[in-house]
Amino acid sequence: MRNKTSLVAGSALGAMLALGLGVAAQAQDLGVKWSGSPQFSNDDVAFKVRGRILLDAVFQDVERDGPGGDFDTRNARGRQVFLGVEGKLNNYFAYKAEGGAVNGGAWSWDDVVIEYKPSEPISLLFGNVKATGLENLTSTRFTTFMDRGPYGDFGVDSYLLGVVAKYQGLNYSFTGAVQGNSINTADVANAGADSKERLAVTGRFHYAPIVTDTDKLHLAVSYRYRNRGDESAFAYTGRTNTAYTNGTTFYTTGAIGNRDNTLAVEGAFVHGPFSVQGEYSSIDVTRVGGAAVGGDPKVKVGYAYVTFWPTGEMRNYDAVAGEFKRPKILNPVTAGGWGGVELALRYDLADTTDAYDTLKTKPTTSQAGKYTGVTLGVNYYPTAYVRFQANYTDGDVDNFGANQDYTVKQFQLRAQLDF
């Protein structure tokens, strides 16, 4: 895997766009429908352009128990500006490629997928794919909060290059994956010697025992094994319910993991406009340096939240995939309505203290601590494809030693459009 430069990425996307338009143009009896942007189709052939714009403002008030004192941050940022394509060549093969700039950085890819469906319930996905985690599998466009919190930082893997196999029934699914690192990561360099990229093997099973017009119950369990290979050791580092960072690390184990095993559980219940959701992961870490350094620690991370739609909508749960999709707005402004409003309250926990407790020789200070945070969220949808968000988080970090604790109060705003 090699880094993709902006020029290469743009050329590749342009080529795919031209190819897709060519396929669509050659189709007879071409049909067009609106799905955020025009979608062209003919029988089992389909093509559309997709993209998203996420613009954020982040304000932080940080009280620091240590050298340097308190500080404030204020930043407006392009969280994501993405462009991509997706389509079907026939009933067996589909594709998706989407990438762009994140936080003002160079172009990088998210979804880059070739899908093969040998039969209706079976899918084989080749490319940069997510494999597990309820909130992780929910697109950033549809997540209730602006950020996935520490659970997204080290509880589950995001996009990784590999092979993902899925079997989906009416209300259940099995997922298995063998993956390396992200498609945006350079090849592992180890001249004249073995060179091994990290390896992850993941499995997930979800089951929805209740699926009615008003009630949905989601249950899932997953397991992940990772081996770092010749890459840097795994570090369990989290943020304070934001994708923003000014270079300050609030809590981290440092690079301690040679291998790890993660057992995770998921749960969600939707009752009309009311819903609850939560996930929890226990990560058993095999420490670099072994018993000479200390015991193998356990890292714990999870979240839980409740939501309510005073305008009457309900979260759009897909019982086949075990994922949440785009909400359906009952009275969009395009039809003369007021749009949809969602209110939410969230609790986050990340506990890395065992990484310190299991050391044979303990330093006087350590950032392998514990984070807890409470977030209030308000989402306003003028239409299903436009969203305005506001999140307020009150977070506390309790680390070891003097001058290592933080209290973080942050307010975030987002304007979002996707197609």
pTM for the full model? Answer: 0.90
pLDDT at 69: 84
Among the listed residues 263, 238, 243, the one whose alpha carbon sits nearest the alpha carbon of residue 353: 238
Give residue 106's pLDDT: 87
Q: Sorting pLDDT into bands at 50, 70 and 90, what band is 207?
A: very high
At 417, list the tokens: 């459009």
The pLDDT of 347-370, averaged and rounded, is 96
Residue 24 reports pLDDT greater than 50 = no
In this prediction, residue 8 carries a pLDDT of 43
Residue 98: inside a domain, yes or no?
yes
Left if phi > 0, otherwise alpha if psi is -120 to 50, otherwise beta: which for 258? alpha
pLDDT band at 343 (very low <50, low <70, confident <90, very high): very high
The DSSP call for residue 30 is: -
Q: What number is the average pLDDT over the span 208-236?
A: 97
Domain count, the chain: 1
pLDDT at 100 over 60: yes
Flag whether pLDDT at 10 surpasses 60: no
pLDDT category of residue 335 using cuts at 50, 70 and 90: very high
1 within some domain: no
Phi-psi region of 254 (alpha: psi -120 to 50; beta: other; left: phi over 0): left
Q: Is residue 243 part of a domain?
A: yes
Task: Tell me the average pLDDT across 79-90.
Answer: 96
Of 99-103, 245-249, 328-332, which range is least confident? 245-249
The listed range with the strongest mean pLDDT (37-46, 187-196, 238-247, 252-261) is: 252-261
The model's confidence at residue 14, banded by pLDDT at 50, 70 and 90, is low
Note whether residue 155 is domain-resident: yes
Cβ atoms of 147 and 241 within 8 Å: the answer is: yes
Say if residue 364's pLDDT is above 70: yes
Domain ranges, residue 299: 6-418
Share of the chain above pLDDT 90, in %: 83
Looking at the chain, the whole-number percentage of residues with pLDDT higher than 70 is 93
E strands in 272-400 = 274-287, 298-308, 316-318, 323-325, 340-351, 366-383, 386-400
pLDDT recorded at residue 363: 94
Q: What is the CA radius of gyration of the chain?
A: 22
Q: Is the pLDDT of residue 287 over 70?
A: yes
pLDDT score of 6: 43
Mean pLDDT value across residues 146-174? 97
The reply to whether 368 falls in a domain is yes
Q: Which helix (H) or strand (E) covers residue 416, if one does?
A: strand 405-418
Q: What is the DSSP string of 176-232?
A: EEEE-S-TTSPPPP-TTS-----EEEEEEEEEEEEE-SSEEEEEEEEEEEEE-TTSP
88: which residues sit within 8 A by CB, 6+ positions away? Answer: 44, 45, 46, 47, 94, 95
pLDDT of 17 over the 60 cut: no
pLDDT value of position 28? 55
The domain that holds 199 is classified in CATH as 2.40.160.10
pLDDT of residue 35: 78
Across the range 120-135, mean pLDDT stands at 97
What pLDDT is attached to residue 244? 92
Assess whether pLDDT exceeds 70 at residue 159.
yes
In a domain, 330, yes or no: yes
* Average model confidence (pLDDT) across the chain: 92
- The pLDDT assigned to 192 comes to 73
Amino acid at 306: V
Instruction: Provide the sign of the torsion angle of the four alpha carbons 101, 106, 111, 112, taken in this order.
Output: positive
The confidence score (pLDDT) of residue 51 equals: 96
Q: What is the mean pLDDT of residues 220-229?
A: 98
**Residue 278 token pair:** 């939560």
